């Protein structure tokens, strides 16, 4: 019987996850199919029961369910529990097991730049669900000397910073409003700047989480979690000032590859899938 997989979220129609996983299944000759399933907030518990009845094997979980889903699972792996968000569910004999593969996506995206990140200042813009995975990975794998979290809602940044302090005694952790004038000084001394806000995403491609003359510079790593568009305005400004940039496509690819491995036990052919997704994004068919 063909094995069924999917992604649940709302809205979900433009997700690239079906293209990624169905291409990988075809390349590896697996009898599996992956679909996008629109599940509005409030419909999550019933939807999960339905997927169980239909004998789904795996699901990805995206906005707005990544946090709410934790209470509906039989088991949550320790990393997902520490982050407080699940983006991957494996349907197993013992029940529903939750994982967070966003963390692996961040880890793989930043790994090539480890030497520049360790011991430096990291600035994280945003304090939502994905920012939690980013801060977890920074503190547990890259050990910056300083982590600053800047968010539109300062209280949300303070709350995330408080959680982060429990993860690391050796990193100085601060929180501030995204509108604080000190953000510019922090950019100047940062070895890593990550945009984990949704500002700049299609269709608002001319926007950027930091306005005006952003003091990016050579020797800095600048990552955007957004992958529609492939090169955000934020990354264009950074690259124009000589910084090394990382598109959200890397994180997207590797979180998907890790989910794929959890479900199938096989490696996703990442390089071939990257070309397929980049082509789709370049032709603006998303
Ligand atoms: P959340 O809704 O949990 O968080 C959104 C964040 O963006 C919050 O920090 C929010 O600030 C901020 N924000 C939203 N609108 C504005 C605005 N107008 N001005 C300033 N800040 C704003 O979303 P996620 O954390 O799940 O996702 C964030 C981004 O990361 C999205 O673009 C998403 O597509 C991308 N992403 C990419 C992934 C990948 O694999 N590449 C994986 C996961 C997410 P506030 O708290 O004040 O509301």
Three-class HEC string of 210-237: CCCCCCCCCCCEEEECCCCCCCCHHHHH
CB 32 within 8 A of CB 2: yes
CB 229 within 8 A of CB 206: no
DSSP 135-157: HHHIIIII--SEEEEEESSHHHH
- Verify whether residue 3 is a known catalytic residue: no
Ligand 1 atom index nearest CA of 62? 26
Q: How far is the CA of 200 from the centre of ligand 1 (A)?
A: 10
Confidence at residue 191, expressed as pLDDT on a 0 to 100 scale: 98
Q: Is 270 helix (H, G, I), strand (E, B) or coil?
A: helix
Residues of the chain with pLDDT under 70: 285-286
Q: Is 127 helix (H, G, I), strand (E, B) or coil?
A: coil
Within 10 angstroms of residue 217's Cβ, the number of other Cβ atoms is 13
Distance in angstroms (rounded) separating the CA atoms of residues 147 and 111: 17
Confidence at residue 211, expressed as pLDDT on a 0 to 100 scale: 81
**Atom 12 (ligand 1) nearest CA:** 197
CB 154 within 8 A of CB 183: no
Catalytic residue (choose from 66, 108, 236, 282): 66
- Rounded to 5°, the CA angle 228-204-159 comes to 80
**Atom 44 (ligand 1) nearest CA:** 130
Residue 270's nearest CA partner among 5, 15, 24 is 24
Query: In the numeric block, which tokens belong to residue 55?
Result: 């004998």
Q: What is the pLDDT of residues 60-72, one digit of tens each?
A: 999 999 999 999 9
Pocket test for ligand 1, best of 128, 131, 150, 278 (most atoms within 8 A of CB): 128
**Atom 31 (ligand 1) nearest CA:** 198
Q: How far is the CA of 191 from the centre of ligand 1 (A)?
A: 22
Distance in angstroms (rounded) separating the CA atoms of residues 166 and 161: 9
Provide the 8-state DSSP code for 124. Answer: E
Q: How far is the CA of 203 from the centre of ligand 1 (A)?
A: 14
pTM above 0.75, yes or no: yes
Confidence at residue 212, expressed as pLDDT on a 0 to 100 scale: 73
φ and ψ of 147, to 5 deg = -125, 125
Give the C-alpha distances (Å, rounded to integers) separating 49 from 27, 90, 207.
31, 14, 40
Ligand 1 atom index nearest CA of 198? 32
**Atom 6 (ligand 1) nearest CA:** 197
Query: In the numeric block, which tokens belong to residue 34?
Result: 């992956």
Give the C-alpha distances (Å, rounded to integers) separating 106 from 85, 120, 149, 255, 258.
14, 17, 16, 8, 11
CB 222 within 8 A of CB 235: yes
**Atom 3 (ligand 1) nearest CA:** 128
Q: How far is the CA of 161 from the centre of ligand 1 (A)?
A: 17
**Ligand 1 lining (C-beta closer than 6 Å):** 63, 102, 105, 126-131, 151-153, 156, 178, 196-199, 201, 209, 225-227, 248, 251-252, 255
Torsional sign, CA 242, 243, 246, 248: negative
Place of tokens 């509906």: 72
53 by Cβ neighbours in 10 Å (0-12 / 13-18 / 19+) ranks as: exposed
**Atom 21 (ligand 1) nearest CA:** 152
Ligand 1 atom index nearest CA of 227? 41
């Amino acid at each position: 019987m063909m094995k069924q997989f999917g992604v649940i979220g709302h809205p979900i129609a433009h997700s690239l996850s079906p293209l990624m996983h169905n291409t990988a299944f075809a390349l590896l000759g697996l009898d599996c199919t992956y679909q996008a399933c629109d599940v509005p907030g409030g419909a999550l518990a019933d939807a999960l029961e339905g997927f169980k009845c239909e004998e789904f094997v795996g699901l990805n979980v995206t906005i707005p369910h990544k946090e709410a889903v934790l209470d509906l699972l039989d088991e949550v792996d320790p990393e997902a529990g520490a982050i407080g968000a699940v983006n991957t569910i494996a349907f197993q004999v013992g029940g529903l097991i939750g994982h967070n593969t966003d963390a692996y996506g961040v880890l793989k995206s930043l790994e090539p730049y480890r030497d520049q990140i360790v011991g430096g200042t990291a600035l994280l813009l945003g304090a939502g669900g994905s920012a939690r995975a980013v801060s977890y990975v920074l503190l547990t794998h890259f050990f910056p000397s300083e982590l600053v979290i800047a968010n539109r809602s300062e209280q949300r940044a303070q709350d995330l910073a408080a959680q982060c302090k429990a993860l690391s005694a050796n990193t100085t952790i601060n929180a501030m409003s995204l509108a604080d004038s000190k953000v510019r000084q922090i950019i100047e001394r940062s070895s890593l700047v990550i945009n984990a806000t949704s500002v700049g995403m299609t269709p608002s491609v001319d926007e950027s989480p930091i306005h005006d003359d952003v003091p990016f510079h050579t020797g800095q790593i600048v990552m955007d979690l957004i992958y529609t568009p492939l090169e955000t305005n934020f990354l264009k400004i950074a690259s124009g000032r000589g910084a090394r940039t990382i598109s959200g496509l890397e994180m997207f690819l590797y979180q998907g590859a890790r989910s794929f491995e959890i479900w199938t036990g096989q490696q996703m052919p990442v390089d071939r899938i990257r070309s397929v997704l980049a082509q789709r994004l370049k032709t603006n068919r998303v």
